[in-house]
Every structure is written in structure tokens, then in C-alpha cells.
Structure 1
Amino acid sequence: MASALTVSVVSADQEVWSGEATMVIAKTVEGEIGILAGHEPLLAILAEGEVRVTQASGSRITAQADDGFLSVENNTITIVARNAALV
């Protein structure tokens, strides 16, 4: 199992953040989800809320995201939201 995730958080008009991470927590319409390396492929509908990313360096970033979707495949996470911004 790999130890790093490749993460991209994008809004309709810009890339908000991208980089290597060890964990991502996001709010979906079915509840909060935590994703680590080796996670099964997933496509989920985002609910309005925070996306919390623990970077490979250990520091954390938080983005506020509106509705959209989250995709996980081969340790790559793509979060696409109608509106998103770092907080």
C-alpha cells in the first residue's frame, strides 16, 4: 500500500489546491468520509462543508466547498466543487 495520496481540489473556475497528502476528510451527502492511501475506488456527492487535507509534510489545510463530487482511484483524489476556497 502506498503512503501518499495525490490530491486536487478544484472549483468551477480555478484550482484551489493540489499536492501530496496522507489523509483527506470531506463531507458527503451520506456523511463525513476519511480517505487514506489504498482506499477503494469511490465516487461520492459532496455536501457543503469543509475539506480537510493532511499534507505529506504533516501540515494541514482546510477548504470550504459547496456541492460537487469527490473521486478516488489509484491513490488519486479529485474534489470538484461549484465553489471552493481555502480558509
Structure 2
Amino acid sequence: MPLQVSVVSADQQVWSGEAEMVVARTTEGEIGILAGHTPLLAILASGEVRVTQVGGRKITADAAEGFLSVEHDVVTIVARDAQLTS
């Protein structure tokens, strides 16, 4: 079962879709999220968010300060500022 991922900034939705994996930098360090991950709420550190879509295509976004939540295979990344880089 794929992850449902949303990356949003303060003023817009940057990307939303299904993914196999999400890697993001938190204040505790880099974290990788796969389907079945335990619920989590973390403070997002500025840096790269990497999303591997179902089928292997990779999406990268720069995100600055915010939070990341995981619950029931739904990953939400809310950043003060975020934009796609690839």
C-alpha cells in the first residue's frame, strides 16, 4: 500500500500524490518513511525533502522550517517555505 504524501508551504500546495518512500530532515536528523511507519510528529529542519513515487520517479523539494506528520500511511509536510527542485 503506497503512502499518501502532501508537501505544502504557507501559501500553496507544492506536491501531492502517492509514494513508496519519503526522506526528510528533522531537527533530530534525517528520517526515512515507508508504508506502515509508526505515527510521528517531528519538527522539520530546513533542507531537502525527497519523495520516491510509486514506479520509482523521484521528486525533490527544498523546505524551510515546519513540521512533518505521519499517521496511517499519510505523510504531511508543512513548511514555512517550500518549492520543487526536480
TM range (shorter): over 0.9
Structure 2 letter corresponding to 1:20: E
Q: Which residue of 2 aligns with 1:83?
A: 81
Q: CA RMSD in A?
A: 0.4
Counterpart in the other structure of 1:22: 20
Q: Equivalent of 2:2, from 4, 14, 20?
A: 4
Alignment of 1:57-76 (within 5 A): 57-76=55-74
Distance in 1, Cα, partners of 2:55 & 2:45: 27
Q: CA deviation at 1:34?
A: 0.1
Q: What is the TM-score with the length of structure 1 in the denominator?
A: 0.96
* Distance in 1 of aligned mates of 2:49 and 2:56: 16
Q: Does 1:31 align with 2:29?
A: yes
| Equivalent-residue separation in structure 1 for 2:3 and 2:37 (angstroms) | 10
TM-score, length basis structure 2: 0.98
1:49 — aligned with what? Answer: 47
Count of aligned positions: 85
Q: Where do 5+ consecutive residues of structure 1 fail to align? A: none
Secondary structure of the 1:38 match is coil
Aligned mates of 2:70, 2:26 — CA distance in 1: 13
Q: CA deviation at 1:61?
A: 0.4
